[in-house]
């Protein structure tokens, strides 16, 4: 099992805060050579910049027997026109997922469609997406963001999911409040459980630790007992093994979900053993923060990123899925 040293934890915290510096992000965006180099590293985790890149990778994985999630990357959108543009892109994605007969779920941050500007705007954009997704037979999944947004995200989720049951929600096991949030979800819903990607104060959250893993397992079991459809979204093999040993594999309400490019060997192994598994694919221009998060949460990826930036063959993670 991967044991995180203090040095790794410091690296993770430093990279996550560097990733959020707008000056560095614009430097990367405005320096063509640097942008090109980092794009080579991002290709391990992001399918490309265009919708077509996401849909093509999703189709390849679907043909191999995986369910998929698709995300048009973006968050904290700061003006209304950009929120509307994101909604238009997501509607086109829903339409294409349907046309390609993908067993797809469209995932997104509510702050990409207005939450950072106005709760009403996020709500009405979500209602529009949920209606169109329901007509197309596609699931919509709300990601979970920083804890300062959790109350608003859960309120909007409850309101919209009571009308459109095709809408699901992500819960973060690292937040101390999450067992209560799970218990408060009134009717059987679609729930994704993740550890949590954001830097949070220890007052509100647990660090990566055996205690967090125990919390994760308890949450997954308790969500299944409550009758929810549950995505066990982790690459942590010890958690997956523990849940399988506890019989989760025989529940028709449980599936495993992993990020594209991360542990394709483990995804392939679970699929070969007959477990339902979903791969979470992303695309879009906003790949920089996403890349930093993937490196920060597993520092050895920095070495892989360096190799990928100088690789002339190009990175094709989709081929690693069996």
Where does this chain bind ligand FDA (CB under 6 A)? 2, 143-144, 170, 172, 194-198, 208, 233-236, 257-259, 262-263, 280, 294, 297-298, 301
The first and second tokens of residue 309, run together, are 């930036």
Strand, coil or helix: 39:
helix
The nearer residue to ligand FDA, 143 or 178, going by C-beta atoms, is 143
> Considering the complex, what minimum distance in angstroms separates the CB of residue 39 from ligand FDA?
18
> Which residue, 164 or 298, is less far from ligand FDA as judged by CB?
298
Residue 162 CB, shortest distance to ligand FDA, in Å, is 21
Residue 289, H or E segment? helix 287-296
Question: CB–CB of 157/167 below 8 Å?
Answer: yes
CA-nearest of 74, 102, 79, 99 to 89 is 74
Q: How far is the CB of 208 from ligand FDA (least distance, A)?
A: 5
CB 59 within 8 A of CB 102: yes
- As measured in angstroms, the least distance from the Cβ of 280 to ligand FDA is 4
Between 144 and 185, CB nearer to ligand FDA? 144
List strand residue ranges (DSSP E) for the chain, in order: 67-72, 104-108, 139-142, 167-172, 190-194, 229-233, 254-259, 277-283
**What single-letter DSSP state applies at residue 205?**
B
- Tokens 């339409």 correspond to what residue? 95
Shortest CB 46 distance to ligand FDA, Å: 12
Q: Give least dist CB 239 to ligand FDA, A.
A: 7
We find the least distance from the C-beta atom of residue 185 to ligand FDA, in angstroms, to be: 16
Nearer to ligand FDA, 114 or 196 (CB): 196
Maximal CA-CA distance, the chain? 52
Closest to ligand FDA by CB, 80 or 211: 211
Cα 61 from Cα 84, distance rounded (Å) = 30
Of 54, 47, 135, nearest in space to 95 by CA? 135
Q: In whole angstroms, what is the distance from residue 233 CA to residue 270 CA? A: 13
For ligand FDA, the closer of residues 59 and 234 by Cβ is 234
Task: Give whichever of 229 and 294 is closer to ligand FDA, judged by the CB atom.
Answer: 294
8: its two tokens? 């790794």
């Amino acid at each position: 099992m991967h044991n995180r040293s203090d040095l790794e934890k410091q690296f993770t915290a430093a990279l996550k805060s560097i990733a959020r510096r707008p000056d560095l992000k614009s430097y990367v965006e405005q320096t063509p050579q640097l942008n090109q180099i980092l794009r080579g590293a991002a290709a391990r985790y992001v399918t490309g910049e265009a919708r077509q890149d996401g849909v093509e990778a999703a189709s390849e994985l679907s043909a191999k027997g995986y369910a998929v999630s698709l995300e048009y990357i973006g968050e904290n959108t700061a003006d209304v026109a950009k929120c509307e543009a994101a909604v238009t892109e997501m509607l086109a994605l829903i339409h294409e997922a349907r046309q390609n007969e993908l067993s797809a779920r469209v995932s997104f941050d509510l702050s990409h469609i207005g939450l950072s500007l106005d709760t009403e705007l996020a709500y009405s954009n979500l209602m529009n997406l949920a209606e169109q997704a329901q007509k197309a037979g596609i699931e919509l999944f709300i990601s979970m963001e920083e804890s300062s947004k959790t109350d608003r995200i859960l309120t909007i989720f409850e309101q919209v999911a009571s009308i459109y049951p095709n809408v699901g929600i992500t819960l973060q096991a690292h937040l101390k409040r999450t067992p209560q949030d799970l218990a408060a979800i009134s009717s059987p819903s679609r729930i994704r459980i993740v550890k949590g990607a954001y830097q949070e104060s220890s007052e509100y959250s647990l660090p990566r630790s055996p205690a967090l893993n125990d919390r994760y397992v308890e949450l997954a079991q308790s969500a299944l007992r409550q009758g929810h459809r549950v995505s066990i979204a982790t690459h942590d093999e010890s958690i997956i093994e523990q849940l399988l040993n506890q019989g989760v594999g025989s529940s028709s309400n449980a599936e495993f979900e992993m990020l594209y490019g991360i542990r394709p060997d483990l995804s392939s192994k679970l699929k070969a053993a007959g477990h339902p598994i979903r791969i979470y694919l992303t695309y879009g221009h906003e790949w920089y923060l996403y890349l930093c998060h993937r490196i920060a949460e597993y520092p050895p990826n920095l070495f892989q990123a360096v190799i990928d930036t100088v690789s002339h063959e190009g990175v094709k993670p989709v081929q690693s899925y069996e």
